[in-house]
Amino acid sequence: MRGIPSDPRRLLPVALVLCALASCATEPPPGHGGDAGFRPLFNGQDLAGWRVVNGGPDTWTVRDGMIVCSGRPTGVMRTERAFENFVLELEYRHMLPGGNAGLFLWSDPLPARGQPFTRSIEVQVMDGVETEHYTSDGDVFAIHGAVMTPDRPHPAGWMRCLPSEKRALPSPEWNHYRVTCVDGTLELAVNGAVVSGGHDISPRRGFLCLEAEGSEVHFRNLSLRELPPSDPPPTEEQRAEPDRGFVALFDGTLAGWREQDGKLGHWQARDWTLDYDGQGESLTSERSFGDFELIADWQWTGEARQAALPVVLRDGSVAREPDGRERTALVQDAGDSGLYLRGSSKAQVNIWCWPIGSGEVHGYRTDAALPAELRAAATPRAAADAPIGKWNRFHITLRGERLTVVLNGQTVIEDAALPGIPAHGPLVLQHHGAPIRFANLYVRELDGQGRSVGGASR
């Protein structure tokens, strides 16, 4: 970093100091976003420039020049653009005592695995809570893989800076935040005075998010002044993930999905998760897909039991004992499920507890009419499942008849051929008699060259 004094916890980078001196000598009063260089992030009329990441049509609305957040389902709305160095101003108010929300900085575009929230730095937007470890007065902290050194050590050693004084006004009063972010340092001013901050932050370039977390909150007068970029620029590790054009398939309701007639009510939208009790039938998307990338988080919710399950070899065959019996291994078993790609039960990406691991394409691995190399390619390279009860993430890519499956960051199926798979069809969440929970269902439709249909914002 260039031009940063020896103690970044107490002083701003020189470039920022010069910028501040050029405009004013003291912290501007609340609502001073109209000074030189500030541009509105919210036009007061609609949500242009923003994208709902994981919420329903009523989660984020506009009324009387305010962004109105219902708080449900839990999730975030983010800017379409990513930002690096900037000064951000906004005002918020909670409509219920004890309300909770947040402002996320330098955020990834999609939620972290098994979470409704993104990897980012959170500026707490909360009302009426005061404890030894967190407050409603301007806490700043790293979440879901982001890192930060707080300006003052936290009593429990967390990557969280507690405010130096209590300046937040209670519900339903308006509060003003001014956040300054430069070269991986952050300072938060609450109602006109700096109270918290951090440094050595990563990522330090990314999206800005407003958070819904259970209660109604209003935002207004959002404005931002961009500052000169870092020199040298952030490394790849210091940048949030880019926006690659993924679109949510689940918005906290069953809109866009259908259950089988006579088997309704077994799939339930519960806040930001989609829960299945195992007693109904498969859930099918109303939309049909051709080539795509799919992100899907899943978690076993039933009681695990010990079971002797078949051992599958890497070539797709079942291991045998000397007497010809199937070889088994004792494992913890919570059930069976899967994802039908393009509506094909044969092209099922399996979710199960067999020793071979999830991600296999059962209908192709077990098809004796196929060449041995195709059956082997449909068999997972490794068992990459998280322990039962923990969240897993599939990243599935299907182009033509070629499939790649990444499970929890590990490629388990790579460029496997699926001859005969339909060209288009729905996504199906499989019923196989076991309770399971899904979340963070996102699709990125591809054209024939593997590019996102409709493109992605920068």
pLDDT in tens, 347-405: 999 999 999 999 999 999 999 999 999 999 999 999 999 999 999 999 999 999 999 99
Q: What is the mean pLDDT of residues 187-208?
A: 98
Q: What is the mean pLDDT of residues 243-265?
A: 95
Query: pLDDT > 70: what percent of the chain?
Result: 90
Do 278 and 389 lie in a common domain? Answer: yes
pLDDT exceeds cutoff 60 at 23? no
Position 453 in a domain: no
Q: Does 100 fall in a domain? A: yes
Q: What residue type is assigned to position 179 of the chain?
A: V
For the record, the structure tokens of 387 come out as 């322990």
Domain-terminating residue out of 194, 221, 238: 238
CA distances from 82 to 165, 243, 299, 369 (A): 31, 9, 31, 50
Contacts of 91 (CB under 8 A, 6+ apart): 30, 31, 174, 175, 176, 177, 219, 220, 221
Taken in order 361, 339, 76, 101, the sign of the CA dihedral is: negative
In a domain, residue 457? The reply is: no
In a domain, 167, yes or no: yes
For residue 434 the two structure tokens come to: 């076991």
What does the pLDDT average to over 148-161? 97
Residues 376, 266, single domain; the answer is yes
For residue 4, tell me if it sits in a domain. no
What is the pLDDT, as a whole number, of residue 450?
Answer: 62
| Residue 183 identity | D
> Do 327 and 436 fall into the same domain?
yes
CA–CA dist 65, 87 (Å, integer): 21
Report residue 451's pLDDT band, with 50, 70 and 90 as the boundaries: low
Write the DSSP symbol of residue 334.
Answer: -
Q: Are residues 416 and 388 in the same domain?
A: yes
- pLDDT surpasses 90 at 36: no
> In Å, what is the CA distance from 332 to each residue of 169, 302, 308, 339, 380?
51, 12, 9, 21, 19
226 lies in the same domain as 329: no
Q: Which two tokens stand for residue 392?
A: 């897993």
Evaluate the omega torsion of the peptide bond into residue 8 and state whether it is cis, within 30 degrees of 0.
no
Question: Domain end: 217, 238, 259, which one?
Answer: 238
Whether residue 9 has pLDDT greater than 80: no
Domain count, the chain: 2
Residues 6+ apart with CB under 8 A from 109: 53, 78, 118, 207, 240, 241, 242, 243, 244, 246
Q: Is 5 inside any structural domain?
A: no
- The rounded distance, in Å, linking the Cα atoms of 412 and 49 is 37
Give the domain-ending residue among 183, 209, 238: 238
Q: Are residues 325 and 216 in the same domain?
A: no
Domain shared by 296 and 210, yes or no = no
Q: How far apart are the first and last CA of the chain?
A: 25
d(CA 448, CA 90): 43
The predicted pLDDT at position 443 comes to 98
Give the whole-number percent of the chain exceeding pLDDT 90: 89
- pLDDT at residue number 35: 65
Pair 206, 107: CB distance under 8 Å: yes
Enclosing domain of residue 223: 14-238
Alpha carbon of 144 to those of 202, 390, 394: distances in Å? 12, 15, 18
What integer best gives the mean pLDDT of the chain?
A: 92
251 and 370 within one domain:
yes
Looking at residue 350, its pLDDT comes to 98
Are residues 216 and 164 in contact, defined by beta-carbon separation less than 8 angstroms?
no
For residue 11, pLDDT beyond 50: no
Q: The CATH number of the domain where 121 resides is what?
A: 2.60.120.560
Give a yes or no: residue 31 inside a domain. Answer: yes
Q: Are residues 217 and 274 in the same domain?
A: no
Residue 450 located in a structural domain: no
* Mean pLDDT, range 334-351, rounded to an integer: 97
Together in a domain, 261 and 206: no
Do 178 and 268 sit in the same domain of this protein? no
Query: Is residue 221 domain-shared with residue 358, that is, in the same domain?
Result: no
Q: What is the Cα–Cα distance from 204 to 194, expressed in whole angstroms?
A: 20
The model's pTM is 0.90
